[in-house]
Homo-oligomer: A and B are copies of this chain.
């Protein structure tokens, strides 16, 4: 290539670099441990590759977040250090944060009471952790002196929200869940008539009975927020924040909400100008499989392959269930790859390959893959959509029921609850997906829509994080409604006033009319 061409190409490359690039900023990250960290880490890798300096706050006893990393510096903070607190907290998350007992909460009133009380205790522990961090003078001085440009946090747990607000830094959320459910419920108007409350296992087209159920879920979540969660933080806010600060006002102070959702999956509903949708940002094109796995895939011939992975929950399935599943697989003409830990089922067929780990994204993107059997975790669902593979869901807990429901109503998934799984109903559901082409067509349509957007979800996430850095916040996108007290927000004060004026006027009118009538009739009586 000639020198002129090289210079031209170099210039072209510079021109093609996003003009909005703003590398070299200091980003304070307050992640949530566990599966939430997986998502956050992918964004951090991208931010690091763009030259940003990243500092991650973690508990010294973190489960997933390593202290040493080539992409960030970590700081240990006094958070959930007490073993009893940690154990309690794990149980609380599993039991409460996505409460399966909700649908029957009248029947299991006592259970619900226990869960609610555990939720309160959990938030008290979190408030205690936050308090410890805020009173750690050395740590706080270090954070203040670093002069971070932005706080990036997952508000599923409130530490990042509290810390970001205390440090008065611009704040971006990487969010789907917040304390009372799906994040939209906190920030956007959510008409209960067509916005299903998290955990209700309802979809957006509800009949009268379902709308009643949804309303009860909604009222319960309001009760929980105001009477269980808010009181846990009142002492902390009184000590460290201006008077009148409450949990909601801190949560709503974020500049941009990077929402891990896409409306091909989430039901269409009201949103706000500072919400940006980045659902599926972790998805990527499939890479070639290892030779042995590729040979196995090809050996399936025209029948293709069933891929089964229940994530980290695989060991939780009872023995009887795994036997039933293995027996069903043995009857299939397809080959099966099953991510499996434990004793090999006796009914296992020759067509089924058990593995301890599988390259899920690469398998889902393989043309031989026909069905994905999954527990319904968000990441897996978006990967299935991205690669266009129909899903047979075996939901167990958390948001898995609601996630699978979203694919089911689009005709792209079936669901078999683990507690009622039998050989028959599992076989029927699996055969249905394998033999009825509509599942494949529907998820292919979702896949096409999911990929058809002006900018990839990951680029969108990075653009808006850097937008907040460049513009030192995005206050102009925050609604004025956020700062109103609830009775003003819902216009109750105005309604009371208007009704009072109208009522008084009508009463006055009637009073005057009666007065006039009385006068007239007394006049009439007089002559008699």
> Which A residues lie at the B interface, using CB under 8 A?
1-2, 4-6, 8-9, 12, 20, 188-189, 191-195, 204-205, 208, 211-212, 215-216, 263-264, 267-274, 448-449, 452, 454-455, 459-460, 463, 467, 470-471, 476-481, 484, 488-491, 493-495, 497-498
Question: Once the chains bind, are A211 and B488 in contact (CB under 8 Å)?
Answer: yes
With A and B bound together, what is the CA distance between A481 and B267 in angstroms? 11
Q: Nearest CB to that of A455 among chain B residues? A: B454
Other-chain residue from B2, B215, B467 in contact with A2 (beta carbon distance below 8 A)? B2
* Distance of A311 from chain B, by nearest CB (Å): 27
Contacting A480 at CB < 8 Å: which of B194, B216, B272, B481?
B194
In the bound complex, do residue B480 and residue A205 qualify as a contact, i.e. CB atoms below 8 Å apart?
Answer: yes
| Complex-state Cα separation, A89 to B223, whole angstroms | 53
Please state if B467 and A452 are interface contacts (CB–CB under 8 Å): yes
Q: Determine how many copies of this chain the complex contains.
A: 2
Q: Which of B191, B272, B479, B481 interacts with A481 by CB under 8 Å?
A: B191
Contact yes or no, A448 B471, CB < 8 A:
yes
| A483 to B, closest residue via Cβ | B205
Bound CA span A311–B20, Å: 34
A327 CB → nearest B CB, Å: 38
CB distance from A478 to the nearest CB of B (A): 6
Contact call A270/B268, Cβ cutoff below 8 A: no
The answer for the CA separation of A189 and B460 in the assembled complex, in Å, is: 26
> For A271, what are the chain B residues with a Cβ–Cβ distance below 8 Å?
270-273
Determine how close the nearest CB of chain B comes to the CB of A274; give it in whole angstroms: 7
By a CB distance below 8 angstroms, the chain B residues around A205 are 480
Of the candidates B211, B454, B467, B480, the one whose C-beta lies within 8 Å of that of A494 is B211
Closest to A487 in B: B193
Listed by A's residue number, 26 A-B pairs whose Cβ atoms lie within 8 Å are A2-B2, A5-B8, A9-B9, A12-B12, A191-B489, A191-B491, A193-B484, A193-B489, A193-B491, A194-B489, A211-B491, A212-B497, A215-B495, A215-B498, A263-B477, A268-B273, A269-B479, A270-B271, A270-B272, A270-B479, A271-B273, A449-B471, A454-B459, A454-B460, A454-B463, A455-B455
What residues on B are CB-neighbors of A1 within 8 Å? 2, 4-5, 8
Contact A479 B194 (CB under 8 A): yes
Closest residue of B by beta carbon distance from A264: B476
Q: Residue among A271, A272, A479, A494 with the most chain B CB within 10 A? A: A494
- Residues of chain B lying within 8 A (CB to CB) of residue A477: 263, 268
